Amino acid sequence: MKQYDRVYYHLMRDAGRLGGLPLWLVFRALPALLGTALVLLVLSAVPARAMAQEGGGDLTLASLASGQMLLQGDRPGHYVPALLQSSKARFAISGMIATVVVEQSFRNDSSSAVEGVYAFPLPDDAAVRSMEMVIGERRIIGQIREKSQALKIYDAAKAAGKKASLVEQQRPNLFTNRVAGIGAGERIIVRLEYVQRVTFANGVFSLRFPTTITPRYMPGRPLEQNPEQEPPPALAVNPRLGWAVATDQVPDAASVSPLQFPQEGDERAPLNPLEISVRLDMGMPLARVEAPYHDIALARRASVYHIQLADGVTEMDRDFVLTWQPVSGASPTAALFTEQVAGEYYGLLMVLPPARERAGPAPPREIIFVVDTSGSMGGVAIAQARDSLSRALLELRPEDRFNIIEFNSSHRALYRRPMPASRHHVQQAREFVRLLRADGGTEMLPALRAALDPPREGDGMAEQLPLRQVIFITDGAVGNEVALFEEISARLGESRLFTVGIGSAPNSWFMREAARFGRGSHTHIGALEEVGAKMAALFAQLSESSAVNLNVNWPVPVEACPERLPDLYLGQPLLVAVRFGTEAPAGEVVVSADIAGQPWRQQIQLSDGADPVTAARHDGVASLWAQQKITSLLDGLVLGRDGDAVRAQVLPLALRHRLLSPYTSFVAVEEVVSLPEGARADTVPVLNTRPRGQAPQTFAYPRTATTGPAKAWFGMLLLFAATLVRVLRQPEVDHVPASEE
Amino acid sequence: MFPRARNEHWRSWLGSLLLLAACQQLAAAGLIKAKAWLAPVLIEQAWTESLERGGLPVKPWPWADTWPVARLRVPGRKLERLVLAGDSGNALAFGPGHALASSALGGAGLAVIGGHRDTHFAFLQHLLPGEQIQLQLPDRSWREYRVETIEVVDSSRQSLARDTEVERLLLVTCYPFDALRANGPLRYVIAARPESAFQMLSRRM
């Protein structure tokens, strides 16, 4: 007690000598505190040596890297990732439905345990219905859970040192797989199964399997990050291991912007190898089976085709597309598949309306071309876009009007208003197209607005042409898809929007949905050689009459998706997924429409058939119905419905059908603890391969300012204020004794 | 008497409170500076050791999540900085950092080094085109660059293009140098090209 008193007394005397407590604080306490802090900092930071490792050939700065993602390869500038990914895709195609098993194998080549994060694409209409994790001989079946609940289960398993895997949907065609507890030298396999509809258009069946993600542009202003809050210790650009910073328009930017290898993909020694095997059973003779972007080996047993890659393995740098065509005359015109799951019957109806000659020439129309010239189009994509546009210009007739809008960070139109497609104007347009270069951002929204806004009234050429068609040429590499869909559905009016997807790995979801909301069609162009044929097919759709007023009459009450049937363009089939309820469907389905001004109808019998295309029972139909239902419920978000209401409808549906959705995730946890307690596992991104032919990816500038100056300035201000308070008090202190005497 | 005393009391409290707040702010600012000025001592030791061990990464302190990857030198200004791996906030607090998303230092392609404008990279404002910059790599070789262009860019409008062919070095810091705002979009970018491919023998610096 006494000692404390003494200390207090000395302190007070010291303070008194300096002229008061505040001054004492400034001149005694502050320097002492600062000094102590400095000394502590020096003492605590004793240099330590990182544990060295017994050397391998490729071992340089990095393998022990905490959160390091790349090992330096044998040549400068070439890297070997710490976590290697390879994929296998097994397709079982039967009739109009494909069941696909994708196997992702993660091998940890580093010398410590890691958590891997892999962002990967799947077809945009994939109904992902099962997941399992394979560790050596053990198989762990993934459970479908509400998204946040799944994340909790996964995080708990990760923290406990268990092996676990979490598959989440970020976009309908973009998923992430997190795999925790991959020990040094270990391999974990995650197997996903999805069901998908086969695309059937213009008499050709096709299937698209995306393998990599074109880096997307994230419009909007970066969300302010709290500068006090340092990012967690991951050496990747940010914690979700994407390169993009969240913006007000794309708050999940980091989750949809996976990092890529700095070097280009290599077909012989792939960075992300992919094996493919396809079992194709159409139950009818096929005229041809082709993969336009890959070399394939084809074997045939009876009517079943087996397809593999000619080299066994390929680089995951472009979409895998398989197309096949029945011999002429064997093409189906109608088919109905059903499946019974949990006592309920589901169906998938496909009907192809016949092509009918239009009576007389097509009416004149106004065509607006919108071409994406953003940085992500750099390389082969812009060449394909230029070629497509030039080709399209040749298809214009003198009575048509047209305009071209190019956009990147800003947009620019060729003409102030659409011009007649005279020879002079077409020549001008060709010159404009020839000079297009890819550079800058992808500010798609203003360009879309400009294209969809109808021409102003009384604007010289007042006469409105009967057809207004917008042809949108892009790779769809944007992160704000839903905002764009909203814009399209709100502003479409009498226009029709057709999308042309360009490049090795276009955003297929954007292409399909933009065309759906734009009540048009979508086309993919993946190589320069295809431009001619694809643009010709597109223009055939543009000028031929479509099937309108479609109606499907079911013999029993059903829940059908989509509820509102779209208009169909030339060569497009009608696809409707239905839920019949608990009774086996029977009777006759009647489909009717107006084609070229004449009525058309077709009946389909609800009964078994021997032909696989029309065979009644088909695995996966229920999943496809649920997926279709979820898609139409999610349309509510675009049309302005309340997010919580949509979620409340989608969540039970996705859980019941065990489907991945924006609100559900798959999680698998091994019950054995495999990492020693306290062991640190770094989070490592799996790098994607850059889309083939694409110009290099961009990345953000580092954030290079501290809050130091602001703090120092504010501190000084406060100090000044404190001094002011003190100085203002001084005269009174002098005054007090005087008055008392 | 009493009101004045109470007044006195109130003033004294206000004064102390302001002082306390001032101390807190100044200490925080001081800590940022102190980290920036003290860490190089340890990083220097780590780098020396790293060179001795043939380029193996050596963490400057046990819980560090970064390590030196190169030495940056501006001979004309007798300036030296050790470049750390990564350009996240926790690396930049201790020294300029090499952006992992960019190409490897000293190799083909565009390599980016970022640093805080008010500490390690404050000197960038004085650099002039034509000045020499040297870079020591973990294998003890030195590479020489010459400043080619200096520009201010808006990082919210532009991003860096990854280039793997032409060797270039970008030194990036925030701009303007004396701004108080920490989240500004402007960046001061110094682009340098290799003077030649020759390598100087490693000497003690």
pLDDT above 60 for A231? no
Q: Do A21 and B93 touch (CB under 8 A)?
A: no
User: What is the pLDDT confidence band of residue A222, given thresholds at 50, 70 and 90?
Assistant: low
Q: Helices (DSSP H) in B55-146: which residue ranges?
A: 89-92
Distance between alpha carbon A138 and the CA centroid of its chain, in Å? Answer: 31
Cα A530–chain centre separation: 25
How many residues make up chain B in this entry?
205
Question: In this model, does residue B150 exceed pLDDT 80?
Answer: yes
pLDDT surpassing 90 at residue A47 = no
Burial class (CB in 10 A: 0-12, 13-18, 19+), A75: exposed
Residue A277: the pLDDT is: 95
* pLDDT, greater one: B33 or A617: B33
pLDDT at site A142:
94
User: What's residue B162's pLDDT?
Assistant: 63
- Which residue is closest to B116 within chain A, CA to CA? A704
Looking at the partner chain, which of A48, A64, A701 has a beta carbon nearest the beta carbon of B187?
A701
Between A45 and A409, name the one with better pLDDT: A409
Q: How do residues A387-417 score in pLDDT, each as one tens digit?
A: 999 989 988 988 889 999 999 878 889 998 8
Q: Of A268-277, A279-288, A359-368, give the lowest mean pLDDT range.
A: A359-368
**What mean pLDDT is reported for chain B?**
80
Q: How far apart are the first and last CA of chain A?
A: 38
Q: What is the largest CA-CA distance in chain A?
A: 122
User: CB burial class (10 A; 0-12, 13-18, 19+) of residue A728?
Assistant: exposed
Chain B contact present for A76, CB below 8 A: yes
Please, is A482 exposed, middle or buried when counting C-beta atoms within 10 Å of its C-beta (0-12, 13-18, 19+)? middle
Query: Which tops the pLDDT comparison, A169 or A69?
Result: A169
Average pLDDT over all residues of chain A: 81
Token pair belonging to A275: 């094996």
Does the pLDDT of residue A704 top 90, yes or no? no
Q: Are A356 and A596 in contact (CB under 8 A)?
A: yes
Burial state string for A517-536 with b = 16 or more CB within 10 A and e = fewer than 16: bbbbbbbbbbbeebbeebbe
Interchain pair A701, B89: CB under 8 A: no
DSSP reduced 3-state for B70:
strand
Average pLDDT score over residue span A374-380: 80
The lowest-confidence range among A90-99, A155-164, A241-250, A442-451 is A241-250
- Is residue A738 over pLDDT 70? no
Per-residue confidence at A608, pLDDT binned at 50, 70, 90?
Answer: low
Query: How many other C-beta atoms lie within 10 A of the C-beta of residue A45?
Result: 18
B171 inside 8 A of chain A by CB: no
Q: For residue range A498-541, what is the model confidence (pLDDT) as tens digits?
A: 999 998 889 999 999 999 999 899 999 888 888 888 888 888 88
According to the model, what pLDDT value does residue B36 have? 79
> Cα separation of A453 and A434, whole Å?
26
pLDDT of residue A88: 95
- Check B108 against A62: CB less than 8 A apart: no
Instruction: Identify from B7, B10, B13, B23 which residue to disrupt to test chain A contact, counting A C-beta atoms within 10 A and taking the largest count.
Output: B23
For every residue of A337-392, DSSP letters joined together read EEEEETTEEEEEEEE-PPP---SSPPPPEEEEEEEE-SGGGTBHHHHHHHHHHHHH
Tell me which residue of B193, B139, B156 sits closest to B171, measured CA to CA.
Answer: B193
d(Cα A718, Cα A170) in Å, to the nearest integer?
Answer: 47
pLDDT on residue A410: 82
The model's confidence at residue A228, banded by pLDDT at 50, 70 and 90, is very low
CB-based contact A670:B146 (threshold 8 Å): no
pLDDT score, position A463: 64
Answer yes or no: is pLDDT of A688 > 60.
yes
Residue written as tokens 């008497």?
Answer: B1
Mean pLDDT, to the nearest integer, of B8-24? 85
Pairing state between β A365-372 and A467-474: parallel
Q: Are A337 and A621 spatial neighbours (Cβ–Cβ below 8 Å)?
A: yes
Q: Which domains, from first to last, does chain B contain?
A: 3-194 (2.40.260.10)
Average pLDDT of the residues in A549-575 = 87
Closest to A116 (Cα-Cα) out of A176, A161, A41: A176
> What are φ and ψ of residue A158, in 5° steps?
-65, -45
- Work out the number of other CB atoms within 10 angstroms of the CB of residue B180: 16
Is B102 in Cβ contact with A699 (below 8 Å)? Answer: yes
Which chain A residues have a beta carbon less than 8 Å from that of B27?
33-34, 37
How far, in Å, CA of B49 to CA of B44, rounded?
A: 9
| Among the listed residues A79, A140, A139, the one whose alpha carbon sits nearest the alpha carbon of residue A109 | A79
**CA A453 – CA A368 distance, rounded (Å):** 11
Q: Is B25 on the interface with A (CB under 8 A)?
A: yes
Chain A contact present for B30, CB below 8 A: yes
Give how far A61 is from chain B: nearest CA, Å: 5
Residue of A75, A680, A701, A727 best to disrupt the B interface, most CBs of B under 10 A: A701
Q: Is A223 on the interface with B (CB under 8 A)?
A: no
CA distances to A121, A187, A211, A479 from A254, in Å:
15, 26, 19, 10
pLDDT at A461: 52
Do B103 and A262 lie within an 8 Å CB cutoff? yes
Interhelix angle for A643-656 vs A621-638, to 10°?
A: 170
Chain A residues inside the 8 Å CB shell of B24:
715
Gap between the Cα atoms of A614 and A347, Å rounded: 12
Rounded mean pLDDT, A676-681: 71
C-beta atoms of A61 and B55 within 8 A: yes
Share of chain A above pLDDT 70, in %: 83
pLDDT at A570: 84
Tokens of A727: 């100085």
- pLDDT tens digit string along B30-64? 888 888 788 888 888 889 888 888 777 788 887 77
Give Dmax (Cα) for chain B.
83
- Residue A624: pLDDT over 90: yes
The reply to whether residue B160 touches residue A234, judged by beta carbons under 8 angstroms, is no
Chain B nearest-CA distance from A39, in A, is 10
Cα gap A128→A191, rounded to integer Å:
11
- A5 three-class SS: helix
Q: Average pLDDT of A414-431?
A: 91
- pLDDT tens-digit readout, A465-478: 778 899 999 998 88
Structure tokens at A189: 């396999």
Q: What are the structure tokens assigned to A321, written together?
A: 């597309």
Asked if A41 has any chain B CB less than 8 Å from its own CB, the reply is: yes
Residue % of chain B over a pLDDT of 90? 6
Distance from CA of A79 to the nearest CA of B (A): 9
3-class SS of residue A406: strand
**Quick check: A699 and B160 CB within 8 A?**
yes
Dihedral angle sign, alpha carbons of residues A114, A115, A119, A122: positive
Strand pairing of A598-605 and A143-146?
A: unpaired
Amino acid at A235: L
Does B15 contact A at CB distance below 8 Å?
yes
Interface test with A, best of B65, B143, B178 (most A CBs within 10 A): B65
Phi, psi of B123 (to 5 degrees): -70, -15
Task: Check if B4 contacts A (Cβ < 8 Å).
Answer: yes
- List chain A residues with CB under 8 Å of B170: none
Dihedrals phi, psi of A56, to nearest 5 degrees:
-115, 175
**What residue type is assigned to position A70 of the chain?**
L
| Nearest chain B CA: its distance from A499 CA (Å) | 27
Residue type, A278: V
Whether A731 contacts chain B with CB within 8 A? no
Q: How far is it, in rounded angstroms, from Cα A579 to Cα A559?
A: 5
Q: Do A697 and B69 touch (CB under 8 A)?
A: no
How far is CA A308 from each of CA A94, A193, A434, rounded to the nearest angstrom?
Answer: 17, 19, 39
pTM: 0.67
Question: How far apart (Å, rounded) are the C-alpha atoms in residues A334 and A354?
Answer: 11
**Cβ of residue B136 closer than 8 Å to a chain A Cβ:** no
What does the alpha-carbon distance between residue A594 and residue A581 come to, in Å, rounded to a whole number? 30
Interface test with A, best of B162, B172, B177 (most A CBs within 10 A): B162
Q: Which run of H or of E encompasses A223?
A: none
Tell me if B11 and A729 make a contact (CB, 8 A cut-off): yes
- From B133's Cα to the closest Cα of chain A, the distance in A is 20
Q: Do B32 and A697 touch (CB under 8 A)?
A: no
The yes-or-no verdict on residue A622 having pLDDT over 50 is yes
Q: Do B12 and A22 touch (CB under 8 A)?
A: yes
Per-residue pLDDT band for A488 (boundaries 50, 70, 90) equals very high
pLDDT digits (tens, 9 = 90+) for B153-175: 887 666 676 665 578 889 999 88
pLDDT digits 0-9 by tens, A72-125: 444 444 445 678 899 999 999 988 899 999 999 999 887 788 888 898 999 999
- Sequential DSSP letters for A414-467: SSSS-EE--HHHHHHHHHHHHT----S---HHHHHHHHHSPPPTTSSS-PPPSE
CA dihedral sign of residues A720, A725, A726, A728: positive
Domains (ranges, CATH) in chain A? 1-48 (no CATH), 333-356+547-656 (2.60.40), 365-543 (3.40.50.410), 711-741 (no CATH)
Instruction: Identify whether the C-beta of residue A79 lies closer than 8 Å to the C-beta of residue A50.
Output: no
| pLDDT above 90 (res A443) | no
Which pLDDT score, from 0 to 100, does residue B205 have?
34
A-chain residues near B164 (CB < 8 A): 77, 262-263, 696
Backbone angles phi, psi at B187, to 5 degrees: -130, 140
pLDDT value, residue A499: 94
Contact yes or no for A412/A378 (Cβ under 8 A) = no
pLDDT at A154: 93
From chain A, pick out residues whose CB is under 8 angstroms from the CB of B182: 227, 705-707, 710
- pLDDT cut 90: percent of chain A above it: 32
Identify the H or E element spanning B191. Answer: strand B186-194
- Is any Cβ of chain B less than 8 angstroms from the Cβ of A244? no
Query: What does the pLDDT look like over A1-42, one tens digit per residue?
Result: 566 777 778 777 777 776 777 777 777 777 788 777 776 655
Give the tens place of pLDDT for each residue, B108-149.
778 889 888 888 898 999 988 888 999 998 888 888 899 888
CB atoms within 10 A of CB A513: 26
